[in-house]
Structures are given as C-alpha cells and as structure tokens.
Amino acid sequence: MMKAASITILILSLILPAGAHGFSEPDAANLSAGLNLRVPATAPDASDGKSARAEAQHNAMRWYPRQKDTNWEGVALVIHGLNCRPDKMEAIIGKLNANGIDCLNLSLRGHGANFSPIHNTSNEKARMTALKLVSYPLWKTEAYAAYQFAKKRSYLYGKPLFLIGFSMGGLLGIDLIASNPNVNFEKMVLFAPAIAMHPRNYLIKILSPFPGLVIPSAGHASYLANEGTPMAAYNAFFEMHAHFENHLDPKKINIPTVIFIDEDDELVSYTSLQKMVRLQYLDQWKIHPVKKDNAATEVKMHHLIIDAASVGKVMWQEMVDVTITHLLNRQSLILQNKGQFEKCAQGAPVKLFIHYAGLPQVIKTGLMK
C-alpha cells in the first residue's frame, strides 16, 4: 500500500509542482456543529424558479448590475473555474457592466463565501471542508438554480441571456445546455473551457479513492479559492466531464460562441479543442488565440487568462473588445478605424489612431498617397 502511494505521488510530481497535503477527512463533530450541505429541493431538470429565488439569497450568488449610464443590453451568468476565486471573474464582469449587461456571479460550493461556518474553525478550513464534500450533482444543482434566476430576469425584461465561463465553469455551463432541454443561452464567451483536456491530466484519477486527499493547485496563489484541491472536487469534475461527453448534443450547443485559449494551455488541449469544433460541426464556435505578455504579468500559467494581470493589459483589452463585439453585435473598434482609414481622401492630411486591442496608437501621420 505504501509503495503504491509512493508511485502515485511520483506520478503527480510530474504534472503538479508539489506533493500532497494529506488525507485528512472532515471531522464529524464539526460537521454536525455547523456545516449545512442543503441544496435546493428542486431537481436540476425542474422548470420552476422557487429554488433559484431561495438560493439567490445565499452566498452562492451575487448580482453585479450594469452601470447606470448604460442601456440595458442583456443578462449574463458567470461561472468560475475549479478552485478559482469567484471574485477573480470581476475583471470581465466590470467590462460587461460598463456595456449594459447585468451579471450574476455564481460561487460553487467550496468557493468564495459558499460554505457553512464550523464552530471554532477558520473560514479557510470551513471552506476546504465544504470542498471535500462536493459532488457533480451538487454543483450542477447550484448552477441550474443560478441559471433559473438569471433566466427569470432575462425573460421578464426581454433581454438576451449570455453564459460566461472559465475552465470548469465553461464545462459546467455547456453540460447544462447539452443535457437539459430547459437551458438555453443566446451566446457564450468561454475562457479555456475544460471540455478537451490533455490526456496527462487524467493521471490524477488514480487517487480518486481518496476524496479527502488535498492536491496543491498549480495556479497562481492570488487566484486560488483554497490552498489545494481535494480529490472529491476532482472526482466531481471528472464525473461532470464524462456526463458532458455522454450527453453531447452538437446541435443544441452550436450557438454563437467565442472561445479564448492560449495555445500553450497546460490543461486544455488547443488542438483537441479545434478537432472537437471541426468534427462536431460547431460552425458558430470561434476560437480566439490568446498570447500572454510574459513581460507584463507574473502569472506564468497559460491556463489562467481571465484578466489583465494574467495576460497583460494589451492582450486583455483585445479580449474585452472581442467579447463586447460578439455579445452585442457591435462592430469592432479595430474594424471601425480600418474603415475610417480607407475612407480618407487621397492626399488628405492624416493623423490616424487605431484602437488595437482597445488601446489608441498612432500608426500614420502625414499625407496619404
């Protein structure tokens, strides 16, 4: 047994930066003292919104309203990645708010404030305890409840509903669409969605019998919801991915979608993602490559591409421009300025500014010939 454990840790050392924290299981006394794992009584496939209304009052969800000086353009459901801080999605949320989109940010169980306090236990430990007890059905129920709440707002006011997802959040959102006839989004923006992973990432499944084992997360510390990720969470993720593959409905998920991904992503395979789009005839899905500015960011992990701090300011502005253009059918600032350039009269004095990636840059001064 010890030899087998040593082999598994060796395997993990090849794909993760450090060893495991330990096999500690949640303490039963502490659980009875305060941990509440109740989920909405309504099943994920139900159509009424009672559970959504109740859950929205909980720490699992938070509304971010659009800026007051903007026209109301739509509603977006935002879902973070595995062991990623939900508030790290505020970078894209802020841009959406500035363009008239209300956002409902979902915190899955074991992330952010979505955990129950435990007597004489720190919030960090209580959050980790919650994460050690998660399951795919639980997360799917939470996501569907959030969808119901966002859908109600979208439906009542006649506004389009969008999905914004990062990594596992993108997978969870697509899984809901593919397997639930009641779930529909008008458009999606996905950041490195975990729907086509590198085969090496499945090696960790060898530890699935140990749900309490906490594996150090490879992401940048400032983005982590917890110091590590328990195998229970990985088990939920793999079950989610298997469910997605078994219920894949290309026609239903083939809606206007932009996917941002770094070609060097450590978790999601760029080539496998391209292959999936091609073989499943997802002709409305557009892949937008992301190139990190390593000189402008300390976040070296290529999978993390959700804000300026992780990709660099110039790349982030480009991603924001593409996102807003896609969701709101607005002409890109790049194309607008290109058209202005072409309309300039020959021989007229020109001082042209283009907004490449949203940043004004002078590209020509003088006479056009």
Distance separating alpha carbons of residues 300 and 222, to the nearest angstrom:
13
Here the tokens at position 299 are: 């976040």
Given the structure tokens 């042209």, which residue do they identify? 352
Given the structure tokens 């002709």, which residue do they identify? 283
For 68-110, the pLDDT digits (tens) are 999 999 999 999 999 999 999 999 999 999 999 999 999 999 9
- Report the amino acid identity of residue 189: V
What's the rounded mean pLDDT across residues 307-332? 93
Nearby residues of 179 by Cβ (< 8 Å), 6 or more positions away = 243, 244, 247, 249
Q: Give the residue, 284 or 368, on which the prediction is more confident.
A: 284
> 340 with 352: CB under 8 angstroms?
yes
Domain boundaries, the chain: 22-330, 333-369
Would you state the pLDDT for residue 302? 95
Would you state the pLDDT for residue 294? 79
Alpha-helix residue ranges (DSSP H) falling in the chain: 2-15, 28-34, 50-56, 90-98, 123-131, 136-156, 168-179, 231-246, 250-253, 270-279, 308-311, 313-328, 333-343
Would you state the pLDDT for residue 199? 95
Nearest CA to 211 out of 65, 110, 330, 314 is that of 110
> 152 with 52: CB under 8 angstroms?
yes
Distance separating alpha carbons of residues 158 and 167, to the nearest angstrom:
29
Distances in whole angstroms, Cα of residue 156 to Cα of each of 185, 260, 267: 15, 31, 39
Nearby residues of 308 by Cβ (< 8 Å), 6 or more positions away = 91, 297, 316, 317
- Residues pairing with 224 in the sheet: 84
What's the rounded mean pLDDT across residues 326-333? 79
Distance separating alpha carbons of residues 305 and 261, to the nearest angstrom:
8
For 158-174, the pLDDT digits (tens) are 999 999 999 999 999 99
Buried b (16+ CB within 10 A) or exposed e, 336-366: ebeeeeeeeeeeeeeebebbbbbeeeeeeee
For 273-297, the pLDDT digits (tens) are 999 999 999 999 999 999 998 787 8
Distance separating alpha carbons of residues 96 and 329, to the nearest angstrom:
14
Residue 318, helix vs strand vs coil: helix
Q: Is the pLDDT of residue 226 over 70?
A: yes
Would you state the pLDDT for residue 58? 62
For residue 192, what is the DSSP state? S
CATH number for the segment(s) 22-330: 3.40.50.1820
Nearest CA to 231 out of 133, 90, 335 is that of 133
